[in-house]
């Protein structure tokens, strides 16, 4: 299969994806939901950045905003240095090829009458790739890549198991040879043994294709397996980013520590723990200052008043948004 013709990156040194101060809100009859509130992050070529945090902290909203499935209210999203925010739908279309998405339920929104072959050929067709015969070859190549037999093309998604359906979802996301795939809880609905198979497939695909993943998960064991770097989200903000090893060795934010403490430790069952107390505050009226202060065992006056910015801490590449973490101003 010849590679698809891809334009050279606009700015070769720019990170693959750079998000600056992104704001996403939902206007609802009950008020405005502050789902993503000033998030900045980068994804580098070929890496896996994992976003982790409790349900409702804005992970999916952030992922969907990158694909412009929802319009941000503010901030910037750049792909290889080129700004995506503000582009018209039409101008966005060719760029959209480079960023694809894998969902927890891959076929929730797709017509169940379609065959797998049709599902995989559709993105190629939409982007005007190849004559029919070439598209058929590409579909067969995609099935092989994700470990499905060639005759899967004639069958329908509902004839497959959950793990196989997720393989089909991944194949569809890869059809246009994206540079970044946003994976939103792609294994959360699967049995643990099947989860491992899908995670291994993603690792293999990344090694062979050089594709980067923004991998969203609420499950720390999954993140530990797949991530190169991790971003921890709380109530619409990033509170800590670090390489995986650094985060597991020395989590700095009290929220990150609480997340780790909430995971049962099989090796040290008697270990003292301080899991999270209290409920997540409402995203309609997030707390002032540090959003975690209402649940933080360490909070002082300043935390209620001033929102801490992400700042370097510890290892290179480790950043934390906490007034009280080591290295912060008194």
* Choices 56-64, 258-266, 272-280, 290-298; region in contact with Mg ion by CB under 5 A: 56-64
Residues 96-125 binding ligand ADP (CB under 6 A) are none
In whole angstroms, what is the distance from residue 234 CA to residue 249 CA? 20
Q: How far is the CB of 28 from ligand ADP (least distance, A)?
A: 5
Going by the DSSP 8-state scheme, the letter that residue 104 receives in this structure is: S
State the Rg of the chain over Cα. Answer: 21
Q: Which of 57, 84, 198, 238 binds ligand ADP (CB under 6 A)?
A: 57
* Choices 25-33, 169-177, 207-215, 219-227; region in contact with ligand ADP by CB under 6 A: 25-33
Spell out, one character per residue from 247 to 286, where the chain touches ligand ADP: x when CB under 6 A holds, - when not: ------------------------------------x---
26 vs 160 by CB, closer to ligand ADP: 26
217 is a contact residue toward ligand ADP (CB under 6 A): no
241 is a contact residue toward Mg ion (CB under 5 A): no
Q: Which of 48, 50, 60, 100 binds Mg ion (CB under 5 A)?
A: 60
Side by side, which strands form the sheet with 17-28? 31-43, 17-28, 74-79, 82-83
CA distances from 59 to 33, 47, 77, 200 (A): 14, 18, 16, 23
28 is a contact residue toward ligand ADP (CB under 6 A): yes
Q: Which residue number places its CB atom closest to Mg ion?
A: 60
Q: Are 157 and 107 in contact (CB under 8 A)?
A: yes
Longest dimension (CA), the chain: 67
55 is a contact residue toward ligand ADP (CB under 6 A): yes
Q: Where are the beta strands (DSSP E) in the chain?
A: 17-28, 31-43, 48-52, 74-79, 82-83, 99-102, 180-184, 212-217, 229-234, 237-243, 311-312, 319-320
Binding stretches for Mg ion (CB under 5 A): 60
């Amino acid at each position: 299969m010849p590679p698809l013709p891809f334009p050279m990156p606009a700015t070769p040194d720019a990170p693959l994806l750079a998000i600056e101060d992104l704001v996403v809100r939902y206007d609802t009859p009950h008020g405005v939901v502050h789902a993503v509130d000033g998030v900045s992050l980068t994804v580098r070529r070929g890496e896996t950045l994992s976003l982790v945090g409790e349900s409702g902290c804005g992970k999916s909203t952030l992922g969907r905003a990158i694909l412009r499935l929802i319009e941000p209210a503010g901030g910037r999203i750049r792909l290889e240095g080129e700004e995506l925010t503000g582009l018209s739908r039409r101008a966005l279309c060719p760029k959209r090829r480079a960023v694809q998405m894998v969902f927890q339920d891959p076929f929730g929104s797709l017509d169940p009458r379609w065959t797998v072959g049709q599902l995989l050929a559709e993105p190629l067709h939409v982007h005007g790739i190849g004559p029919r015969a070439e598209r058929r070859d590409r579909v067969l190549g995609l099935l092989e890549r994700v470990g499905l037999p060639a005759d899967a093309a004639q069958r329908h998604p509902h004839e497959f198991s959950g793990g196989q359906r997720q393989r089909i979802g991944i194949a569809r996301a890869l059809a246009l040879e994206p540079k970044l795939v946003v994976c939103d809880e792609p294994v959360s609905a699967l049995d643990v043994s099947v989860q491992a198979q899908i995670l291994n497939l993603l690792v293999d695909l990344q090694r062979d294709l050089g594709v980067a993943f923004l991998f969203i998960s609420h499950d720390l064991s999954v993140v530990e397996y797949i991530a190169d770097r991790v971003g921890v989200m709380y109530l619409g903000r990033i509170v800590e980013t670090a390489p995986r090893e650094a985060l597991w060795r020395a989590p700095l934010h009290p929220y990150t520590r609480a997340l780790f403490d909430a995971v049962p430790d099989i090796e040290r069952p008697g270990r003292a723990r301080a899991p999270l107390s209290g409920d997540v505050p409402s995203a309609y009226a997030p707390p002032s200052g540090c959003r975690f202060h209402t649940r933080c065992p360490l909070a002082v006056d300043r935390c209620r008043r001033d929102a801490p910015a992400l700042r370097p801490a510890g290892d290179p590449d480790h950043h934390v948004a906490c007034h009280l973490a080591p290295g912060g101003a008194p």
